[in-house]
Amino acid sequence: MGMIGGGKDAFIGAIHRIAANMDGQIELVCGALSMHADIAQESGRMLFLDQDRIYNTYDEMFKAEVQKPANERMDFVTIVTPNFAHFAPAMQALENGFNVVIEKPITFTLEEAQKLKQKVKETGLMLLLTHTYAGYPMVKEAKQLIKSGKLGKVRKIYVEYIQGWLSRLSEREGNAQASWRTDPSKSGKSGCMGDIGTHAAHLAEYISGLKITELNASLNIVVDGRMLDDDGAVLLRFEEGATGTLIASQVAAGEENALKIRVYGENGSLEWAQMEPNTLTVKWLDKPAEILRAGSGYTDRLSSYATHNCRTPGGHPEGYLEAFGNLYRNFALTLSAKIAGEEPKKEWLDFPSIEDGIRGMAFINNVVASNESNEKWTKYTI
């Protein structure tokens, strides 16, 4: 694995490295870790990279790596730069024959995402989009439970993603994370909805298996002086007649990272909350609620998707980093199978990719369009 961005002090780059390291299958071998050469160099040394594989630019990195014999060059590259700087290196990676891991949102605009999709298709290379929450075993269980039909036809989906960390104008107080995320030139046309609303929308579509078809959005800039939405709510219509709501806020003082989803079918419902991720609550219309637990012994009741994505027995909590690690692990297992000319297992293939990226960008576009419209409902278009 090579890495673009993610130099020392960058938050998400460090997370990616932990996730990739976790299962001993992936090794960071090279990087263009910062647009500042000195930081790139220092960061590379801190990560024990070979000196000749610490690159100052990704351009340089692709040129050098592609020259190496296949079994020595990096197998894929991870792009963890701010949103506006995803597209160019991703395209270049694909053009040079490298598989790509990319932080969400996939690009700065939907158009870029479409181009990337085209390139992925052309090259046959793999792309992992790190919608972390889809890596949790009990999220996968939720998806399979809906798919099984046990809860009946889906009627309602409530999803919410509530944070409080932007309750003050932190971007003016030297908070680097806050700074680029609230800057339209770096983050894109939406703040809160782009950053976390997209996670919520992805989770809703992933678990329910239903696509959003119409939406009715209202975005707010709650903190004076901010340039992008820091809060919003969206009424949703899904395929097959389901309806729902999506709430996202970054100004909900006192909240940490409260992503939660509830899906109601005709016979019962499920509830999952990211902050206690090893539990999936299933409530039934006609019988007591059940608590499904990751890693538990009743493996006949859990899908193979859930069990494949656990590392420890029940009661040994796995968390955000393990969920992130699951994305990398499944990507790596699939890549290894591909390299070995073997058929990857269906559980390995269950990681977010280019289509999820397209829908993420479209979600942002549609939410912003709806917010600007006086019409109640806006058709979801791509």
Residues 228 to 267 in contact with a second copy, rule: CB under 8 A:
231, 233, 235, 243, 245, 247, 249, 251-258, 262, 264-267
Q: What is the DSSP letter of 345?
A: P
Site string (33-62) toward a second copy, x via CB under 8 A: --------------xx--------------
Footprint on residues 319-348 left by a second copy (CB under 8 A): 319-322
Nearest to 87, CA basis, from 69, 107, 71: 107
CA atoms within 13 A on the CB side of 49: 25
Give the nearer residue to a second copy in terms of CB position, either 4 or 120. Answer: 4
Residue from 51, 67, 148, 374 in contact with a second copy (CB under 8 A): 374
- Using the contact rule CB under 8 A, the part of the chain among 69-77, 109-117, 200-208, 297-305 near a second copy is 297-305
Residues 146/209, Cβ–Cβ less than 8 Å = yes
Residue from 93, 94, 110, 151 in contact with a second copy (CB under 8 A): 151
Minimum distance, C-beta of residue 117 to a second copy, in the bound complex (Å): 30
Burial class (CB in 10 A: 0-12, 13-18, 19+), 226: buried
Rounded distance between C-alpha atoms, residue 364 and residue 374, angstroms: 18
Is 158 one of the binding residues for a second copy (CB under 8 A)?
yes
Site string (91-130) toward a second copy, x via CB under 8 A: ----------------------------------------
Q: How far is CA 110 from the centre of its chain?
A: 16
Residue 315: CB atoms within 10 Å: 10
What's the one-letter identity of residue 330? N
- Using the contact rule CB under 8 A, the part of the chain among 90-98, 331-339, 360-368, 369-377 near a second copy is 369-377
Residue 241: CB atoms within 10 Å: 11
Is 289 one of the binding residues for a second copy (CB under 8 A)?
yes
Give the nearer residue to a second copy in terms of CB position, either 52 or 224. Answer: 224
Minimum distance, C-beta of residue 268 to a second copy, in the bound complex (Å): 5
Minimum distance, C-beta of residue 62 to a second copy, in the bound complex (Å): 23
Q: How far is CA 119 from the centre of its chain?
A: 20
Does residue 73 come out as left (phi exceeding 0), alpha (psi in the -120 to 50 range) or beta? Answer: beta
Give the nearer residue to a second copy in terms of CB position, either 170 or 187. Answer: 170
Residues 100/126, Cβ–Cβ less than 8 Å = yes
Minimum distance, C-beta of residue 84 to a second copy, in the bound complex (Å): 23
Number of residues that bind a second copy (CB under 8 A): 87
Question: Which tokens sit at 368?
Answer: 């912003």
Minimum distance, C-beta of residue 254 to a second copy, in the bound complex (Å): 3
Footprint on residues 2-31 left by a second copy (CB under 8 A): 14-15, 17-18, 21-24, 28
Burial class (CB in 10 A: 0-12, 13-18, 19+), 367: buried
Minimum distance, C-beta of residue 350 to a second copy, in the bound complex (Å): 21
Is 189 one of the binding residues for a second copy (CB under 8 A)?
no
The enclosing H or E element of 133 equals: none
Give the nearer residue to a second copy in terms of CB position, either 61 or 282. Answer: 282
| Residue 219, phi then psi, degrees to nearest 5 | -105, 150
Give the nearer residue to a second copy in terms of CB position, either 95 or 290. Answer: 290
Minimum distance, C-beta of residue 341 to a second copy, in the bound complex (Å): 19
Does residue 329 come out as left (phi exceeding 0), alpha (psi in the -120 to 50 range) or beta? Answer: alpha
Residues 90/102, Cβ–Cβ less than 8 Å = yes
